[in-house]
Amino acid sequence: MRGSSLLPSVVFMLHLDPALYFDHSATTPPRPEVIEAMQVAMRESWGNPSSLHGWGERATMAMERARQQVADLLNCEPESLLFTSGGTESNNLALFGVAQGHRTPQHLIVSSIEHSSVENAARQLQAQGWQVTRLPVNHFGVVDPEQLKSALQSNTVLVSILHGQNEVGSLQPIAELGRLCREAGVLFHSDCVQTVGRIPLDLSELPIDMLSLSGHKLYGPQGVGALYLRPGVELRPLLRGGGQERRLRSGTQGIPGIVGLGVAAALAAEELAAETERLRSLQRQLGQALQGVPGLIPTGPQDQQQRLPHHLSYCIDRIPGNVLVTAMSRQGIGISAGSACSSGQLIPSRILLAMGYSEAEALGAIRLSLGKATTAAAVEYVARCLRGLLLSGSGSGSLGELRTQPVLVGSFRASGPEA
């Protein structure tokens, strides 16, 4: 088979302005300090941290420095952190690691708007005989703690509820949810991939037993993350091997990625308060600029304190979200059609359906997420472009033409919507 036949034709874009990248919930660009630290690690700390000689010790020192940096961001003990490949692995390790510790199927509670790495794991456990309860959410995508309290059973062993919802930006009351689990003697896991490094999280106070995070959501590298385990929580490993990471996550640690995650965490801790306030200000500006556009329906909480500080989301009742993503991309602007993990499939967002939206509305989900390079001028420009597209009607050059055109994805042209 000729490999070249499988490759899309490449279209090199002249310039991608970082200020016009409005998809930071999908991934964030690694910061220059992160890249530099990773390059140093590749040159100087390339040894195997399991080795006892000097090269191994140097790698171990770099790794443990990064572990301490992540621990400082979360205010927890560094020994409580396991390095993983990212949020998906951390979520899977939390759910399956607990489940495999039980000889017979028990009861698991998740929300109806979890990331696919939790939802699909719950489905697999359900297929293995586990009882799974999916808590409903209100029209803003928020779980009612009373619903959790009512769902707890004598055989409930784990509750997994994400903190920040990636598609609609809603923040869950994890302190209250965790307290209910703690009182019932049930383990509480939270997917905090969208919130670590974006809003304060203090694990010395929050009643969380397990927490997942991912480096590329806080300006670190892709392919590295961590799972926090409260001391005393027991898991069964998913990977069998050399027993690295407290015998819970085998495999030689990727030192450059871990170092990059550590630097990203240290920078996030230093800048968290000021950057969160700056993003909330830009969030307000963008929301106000898009008010009153016919057919553009805000989703998620409208109270800034109840949603991610960098995040706005909408649905459009007459245009598929991927069509609008394409139109904006052709103007050099990056947004997302709902979740970047599922936007390659032209199906209604299961998150919006769970929140009570119609299928037509759920097909038109879009998300704009801000970041460090975002400026007030960029917000104004993006709002003007988006308003123009949505008000352009059906004439030449309008959104209607795009339904039959190839879709521009990043820097290459493909035959389907954004991956």
| CA nearest neighbour of 135 among 154, 117, 156 | 156
Establish whether 192 is a catalytic residue: no
Angle at 167 between CA 276 and CA 228, to 5 degrees: 65
Distances (CA, A) of 12 to 4, 22, 370, 412: 17, 20, 25, 7
Helical ranges in 131-248 per DSSP H: 145-151, 174-184
Hunting for tokens 């028990």 — which residue is that?
106
Residue 226 near residue 70, CB atoms below 8 Å: yes
| CA nearest neighbour of 24 among 310, 256, 269, 298 | 310
What are the residues whose beta carbons fall under 8 Å from the beta carbon of 320, sequence distance 6 or more? 337, 346, 363, 364, 403
Helix (H) or strand (E) holding 369: strand 365-369
Residue 190 near residue 210, CB atoms below 8 Å: yes
Residue 402 near residue 327, CB atoms below 8 Å: yes
- From 192, 315, 341, 385, the catalytic residue: 341
Distance, CA of 365 to CA of 336 (rounded, Å): 9
Distance, CA of 322 to CA of 342 (rounded, Å): 11
Counted residue by residue, the chain has a size of 419
Distance, CA of 314 to CA of 299 (rounded, Å): 5
Assign 193 to helix, strand or coil: coil
Distance, CA of 411 to CA of 37 (rounded, Å): 27
Give strand ranges (E) for 36-193.
81-84, 107-111, 131-135, 156-160, 187-191
Active-site residue set: 341
